Amino acid sequence: MKFRSDPSAIRGSIAPAITPFTSDGAVDHDSLRALIRFQLESGSHGISLGGSTGEPSSQSVSERIAGMRTAVEEIGDRVPFLPGTGSHKLDETLELTAAAADLGADAALVITPYYARPTQEALYQWYAIVAREFPDLPIVAYNVPSRTAVDIAPETVKRLFTDFENFVGVKETTKDFEHFSRVLHACGRSLLVWSGIELLCLPLLALGGAGFVSAVANLAPGAVARMYELWEEGDFDGARDLHYRLHPLVDLLFVETNPAPAKWVLHQQGRIASPHVRPPLISPTDAGLSKIRALLREGGDLTQQIGATK
């Protein structure tokens, strides 16, 4: 929990790790440890687990907590750890967030409750409960309307940021780039905002964003981290070059539903023991694999840049 007391230090490329499964569907903790080591060796500035890329809705609460424990053991205090602790159920969200706090997470990434389509007042009250329950744990809202069917409004973020000292930021996974600007304009640039949309990661930095939680970091963590570092160093052309070079890998991620394509690539590279995804997801189809292979030929050189920031 080295970074818990200063969440403003949680910046850069926060890699949202997949959850590896064995071929029979169990959580593969050995592969998870190997993936986290790969991220750390490649220069990722932080680790997240249990966001959309980690297939949390297909896991039990106990499985998610066990995954957090494995991640904490592997990370230590080397980089910040921001586990996803949200659910569509409040009791599960509180249980997962309590476990994250006890295990030493630096902040909790709490998704907007999905399926129910709560109002903005309901969203405010949801996050208020979480923030009050864990006053010493930084809380980050995870806004991903394409998956939850609800969009947390800039005004709601402002209320939470104003009312709760430990509500520190938001991961914005919306393709409405105007929304990013309105959130920062409403709250001020002391609010921490990370992009969860791969092709908006670099543009967000121009608005004062804290960094990104980009699924493409599963495949090219060194390149994604270096893109942030180049921007911070003032090498804007270098950062833009990496942004455009990452395009094929970004497209690869979404040939079929994330994280199935990424898991297939990681398995092919020997980084995980199995490409298994849990239902309702399926492994890439033959047609999908044809596209994935073509995109990997185009952008795969970036997946080899291990330790690019060291």
The DSSP result for 161-201, as a single string, is HHH-TTEEEEEE--S-HHHHHHHHHHH-TTSEEEE-SGGGH
Predicted confidence (pLDDT) at residue 140 exceeds the cutoff of 90: yes
Q: Cβ neighbours of residue 108 under 8 Å, at least 6 residues apart?
A: 82, 83, 85, 97, 100, 101, 130, 134, 137, 138, 139, 140
Query: How high is the pLDDT of residue 309?
Result: 39
Q: Assess whether the previous peptide bond of 279 is cis (omega < 30° from 0).
A: no
Q: Which residues are marked as active site?
A: 142, 171
pTM: 0.95
pLDDT band at 85 (very low <50, low <70, confident <90, very high): very high
Q: What is the per-residue pLDDT across 146-194, written as a single tens digit (0 to 9) for each?
A: 999 999 999 999 999 999 999 999 999 999 999 999 999 999 999 999 9
Query: How high is the pLDDT of residue 304?
Result: 80
Bridge-based pairing state of the strands 12-17 and 211-212: parallel
The proportion of the chain whose per-residue pLDDT surpasses 70, expressed as a percent, equals 98
Query: How high is the pLDDT of residue 192?
Result: 98
DSSP letter for each residue of 83-130: -B---SSHHHHHHHHHHHHHHT-S-EEEEPPPSS---HHHHHHHHHHH
Mean pLDDT, the chain, whole residue set: 96
Query: How high is the pLDDT of residue 305?
Result: 62
